Amino acid sequence: MSISSPFLRTFTVGGVWFAAVALKMVSRHSGHWSTYPPRNFVVLVVAWVITALILGAAASRFERLRSWWGIGLGTVVGSFVVLGLMLFTVEKVYGTASPKFSSTEEMMVYFANETTKWVKADRSIDLDYSLDSIKLIEEELGRISKEVDKANPKPGTVGLATGYGAYVGEVLRQRDGGTWSVDHSAAGPRSYPLTVGSNNTIFPVGWCWKRLTGDETENVYRKALVFEAIRGSVTNTARVK
């Protein structure tokens, strides 16, 4: 096949472009490269082939698209279009309606379970709702925090804080009992306070929000340990009486 072949050019340029995208994705993965979800690579390979075939067919018909510059620009633009269409198709075929919850507890348990799936997909680690597992949450929050625009966090940051905060809260609630609420008189609406069995009110979602939009001084694992120490002190005092 001649180097002037549109298809050879589109597959060559596409291979370089998608390889660069893959390397960027892996570099942002907090674990070892071998733990990176292989399905993401499969998606990129499929997108590469589709983009190259479509662009190659177009370049065969329109001479202006056959230059290296034309194919390069077409590959970049085409890759975003193809990936967007693939995502749209998956959501249409496999997407499900938003879940309905009968209580705040049910909602936060759902969010906590979703968080375990995030961590499983990202790091291939199963969270076990132990106190030590919050250390893994802290590591995830620290990694994500580096990518957050602290001055203007994206809307999705709230969802991340809610998910990770729900998990942290559920770890502590399973150890001490307690009740979730949506609003708080002092912290405001949708602050998701958790009143635990020791009658203390904590804000795990707020902890995670501050960690994502702040720095390492907002360490969530450290806050959980401090809370556990206070809870233990209160419990021991009650037993002595």
pLDDT for res 239: 38
Residue 136 contacts residue 119 (beta carbons within 8 Å): yes
| Three-state secondary-structure class, residue 68 | helix
Cα–Cα nearest to 192, from 204, 200, 178: 204
Contact 69, 45 (CB under 8 A): no
Domain chopping of the chain, boundaries = 6-94, 104-240
Q: What number does CATH give the domain 104-240?
A: 1.20.120
End-to-end CA distance of the chain: 88
**Rounded distance, CA 214 to CA 142, Å?**
9
Q: What is the pLDDT of residues 97-142, one digit of tens each?
A: 567 899 999 999 999 999 999 899 888 899 999 999 999 999 999 9
| pLDDT of 30 above 60 | no
Beta-carbon contacts of residue 179 (< 8 Å; ≥ 6 apart): 105, 194, 195
Q: Cα-flanking dihedrals φ and ψ of residue 195, to 5°?
A: -95, 110
Give the residue-averaged pLDDT of 33-40: 73
189-218 confidence digits (pLDDT tens): 999 999 987 678 999 999 999 999 999 999
On the question of pLDDT at 166 being above 90, the answer is yes
Mean pLDDT across 1-28 = 85
User: What distance in Å separates the CA atoms of residue 85 and residue 79, rounded to the nearest whole number?
Assistant: 10
Give the number of other CB atoms < 10 A from CB of residue 220: 24
What is the chain's mean pLDDT, rounded? 87
